Structure 1
Amino acid sequence: MKPDTLAALGYHAAAFIGRLPWPWLRTLGDAMAWAWRRFDVRESRVARRNLEIAYPDLLPGQREEMHAAILRTTARQALETLRFWTRPAGENLACLRERHGEALYDEALASGKGVIVAAPHFGNWELLNQWLASRGPIAIVYRPPESPAGDAFLLRVRGADNIRQVRAEGPAVRQLWKVLKDGGAVGILPDQQPKMGDGEFAPFFGKPALTMTLVSRLAERTGATVLYAWCERIGPGPDFALHVERAPAAIADADAVTAVTALNQAVERIARRDPAQYQWTYKRYTLRPEGSGEGNPYH
């Protein structure tokens, strides 16, 4: 079956789930989280290992409580994302009950210097994408799935007006540089682990993590404004708060280690607002510093 056909089928399945009432989605998400813990699937194992790394001082009972909360929030986020992907953007943006720092983004965009939005894996970043698109065109960097059908699906569900999806591959830097030099906006998930050689190690929750230099290189070379942004869940239903804030100046430092250290410090501060809303199911510490003697902690 052709990738576009599979993507269309996936879209219709997502749309069916997305039509369920919010309480049903929440209940279904909680059931998914229970199953993940019961059968200790990949999401459960990775989250538990990350908590051992990032919160070594927690008592076992405290860590298990946080582990359960993370899986519950992750499952809910996955299902609510299906809704956001398949419902009108105007309807989705009505879920933003609070908006903080909205003017910062508008002012930065109006300055003509270009804007880099660093959006950590916190809360619901797909809702954030739709808010950004509501303010004007934006180029969003994404890592394409290995499956052509999966890639076609993402291009379809994120293919709203004003959103240009840029594959995180060789030509991406040139494309993003041009967008910024033209005064446009770029969205980057700054806490994705890059390939060895495409980043620098810096502390993240007390442990060295290979961190992308893309944000800092673009900021340094273009003079674009760097902002952090996220949509934080603030209630049991479809209740979110938008947050936009200025990034520390050190993110654009010419020294790469200084820059990525500042980048990680800001992401960590956001994640600590509510650890359950951060994507702890991602293998953030797979690659280790050369000569450290450390192995992959997820093996």
Structure 2
Amino acid sequence: MVNLLIAFLRLCARWPLPWVRAWGWGLGGLLWHVARSRRHIVEVNLQKTMPELSAAERQALAYRHFIAFGQSVMDRAWLWHAPESLVRQRLRWVGDLQALTAPGPLVMLAPHFVGLDAGGMAVSLDVPGPVAFIFVGQSRPAIEQWVRQGRERSGNVRPYFRHQGMRQILSGIKKGEPLHLSPDMDFGREESIFVPFMGVDKAATLPSLSRLSKVAGARVVPVVTRMTAQGYDIEIHPALADFPSADAVQDTARMNRLLGDWVRTMPEQYYWVHRRFKTRPEGEPGFY
């Protein structure tokens, strides 16, 4: 089944983008109906972060998220298999690319929007490298091989995995190897701290952005990817001023405030299918 899916994506790699997005719309609609556990996760996340919306509004937003998610999956066809010239046509930089290419240690804050892989591809194509990425391994070998080949197709990717620890990554940043970092995740109590996120007072969040940038003496530049009708916009925001501070908790809370602002500009594109609030403080009931 997996091999058939990969073969199909290779087949439609050169299709016009509206065709690919139409198939993605169908995939997202199908997932909305059959992936009930993920649908429940999305609905809980939206209820916790956007309680001001009515139940009908949240359900409509959840449905739009599944459509955007399905379209982003189908977009891997051209991201990972189309000629580089076609890929470049559909990836548009917004902002000052020099913020990513200037000398000195650099950490890119790249939140989990559905276009994260598209943003990573743009970075690997246009930022002098190698560029470091931290990946989570896939459960099936065939999928793992396909994902790695796709993400590393530019030849400018330095892959790291969470189980390898931070020592090699820190060494690379200090030597001028940019890091593309997505720390807006809940990886459990031992690795997280509790800070507010979009109305949830205690959201388990990785403090790695503050800690890595502090130890490496790196500037932090947010890179936010937005799906558009033409492909993706990769938005380069100004480097964070006075970051990191002496307080990793305050830094991580600041990161979450910024993320909340970006999410509100495209709420259907944030990665709500992830159990963002799975870890709760001791004694508090789970959300899901």
Alignment TM-score, normalising by the size of structure 1: 0.87
CA contact 1:81–1:124 (8 Å) conserved in 2: no
Q: d(CA) in 2 for partners of 1:249 and 1:194? A: 27
Residues 195, 252 of structure 2: 8 Å contact kept: yes
Distance 2:187 2:206 in 1: 6
* 1:24-103 paired onto structure 2 within 5 Å: 24-39=19-34, 41-97=36-92, 99-103=94-98
Residues 1:9 and 1:26: Cα distance change in structure 2 (over 3 Å): closer
Q: CA deviation at 1:144?
A: 0.9
2:219 to 196, 213, 225: 225
The aligned counterpart of 1:196 is: 189
Do the aligned residues in 2 keep the contact of 1:8 with 1:153 (CA within 8 Å)?
Answer: no
Q: What SS is found at the alignment partner of 1:233? A: strand
Cα 1:147–1:250 change in 2 (3 A) is farther
Structure 2's unaligned 5+ residue stretches are: none
How far apart are the structure 2 equivalents of 1:186 and 1:180?
Answer: 7
Aligned residues: 284
Deviates more, 1:30-39 or 1:8-17: 8-17
Deviation of the 1:9 alpha carbon: 6.9
The one-letter amino acid of 2:238's match is R
Matched, 1:256 2:257: no
| Counterpart residue number, 2:171 | 178
Choose 83-92 or 68-77, whichever is displaced more.
83-92
Q: Cα distance 1:157–1:239, how it changes in 2: closer, same or farther (>3 A)?
A: closer
1:114 aligns with 2:109: no
Match of 1:139 among 129, 132, 136: 132
Secondary structure of 1:246's match? coil
Render the CA deviation track for 1:155-191: whole Å, top value 9, x for unaligned.
221122111110011x330111011110110111121
2:116 counterpart residue number? 125
CA positional deviation for 1:123: 4.5
Q: Do the aligned residues in 2 keep the contact of 1:227 with 1:245 (CA within 8 Å)?
A: yes
Instruction: Tell me the equivalent position of 2:199.
Output: 206
Q: What CA distance in whole angstroms lies between the structure 1 residues aligned with 2:99 and 2:203?
A: 30
Rounded to whole Å, the distance in 2 between the matches of 1:181 and 1:22 is 40
Distance 2:184 2:63 in 1: 22
Q: Partners in 1 of 2:37 and 2:243 — Cα distance?
A: 33
Aligned to 2:148: 155
1:232 match: secondary structure: strand
CA change 1:13–1:64 in 2 (3 A) is same
Contact 1:47 1:280 (8 Å CA) reproduced: yes
- Aligned partners of 2:112 and 2:270 also within 8 Å: yes
Q: Is the 8 A contact 2:132 2:179 kept in 1?
A: yes
Q: Does residue 241 of the first structure (1) align with residue 233 of the second (2)? A: yes
What letter is aligned with 1:121? H
Contact 1:190 1:212 in 2 (8 A): yes
Deviation of the 1:193 alpha carbon:
1.6
- Please identify, of 262-271 and 96-105, the stretch whose mean Cα deviation from structure 2 is larger: 96-105
Unaligned ranges ≥5, structure 1: 1-5
Q: 1:279 to 1:100 in 2, by over 3 A?
A: same
Cα 1:166–1:40 shift into 2, 3 Å: closer
Q: Matched residues in 2 for 1:80 and 1:42: separation?
A: 24
- The residue type paired with residue 132 of structure 1 is V
Contact 2:110 2:116 (C-alpha < 8 Å) held by counterparts: yes
User: TM-score by structure 2 length?
Assistant: 0.90
Say whether the 8 Å CA contact 2:225–2:234 is kept in structure 1: yes
Pairing partner for 2:263 from 258, 264, 271: 271
Identity %: 22
SS at match of 1:196: coil
Residues 191, 211 of structure 1: 8 Å contact kept: yes
Which residue does 2:161 correspond to in 1?
167
User: Could you tell me which residue of structure 2 aligns to residue 187 of structure 1?
Assistant: 180
In 1, distance between residues paired with 2:147 and 2:228? Answer: 27
Determine the C-alpha separation between the residues in 2 that align with 1:122 and 1:94: 20
Structure 1: distance between partners of 2:128 and 2:244: 24
Instruction: For residues 202-223 of structure 1, give each alpha carbon's deviation from its aligned partner in whole angstroms, at most 9, with x where no partner exists.
Output: 1111112111122211111111
* Letter matched to residue 107 of structure 2: I
| Aligned-residue RMSD, C-alpha | 2.1
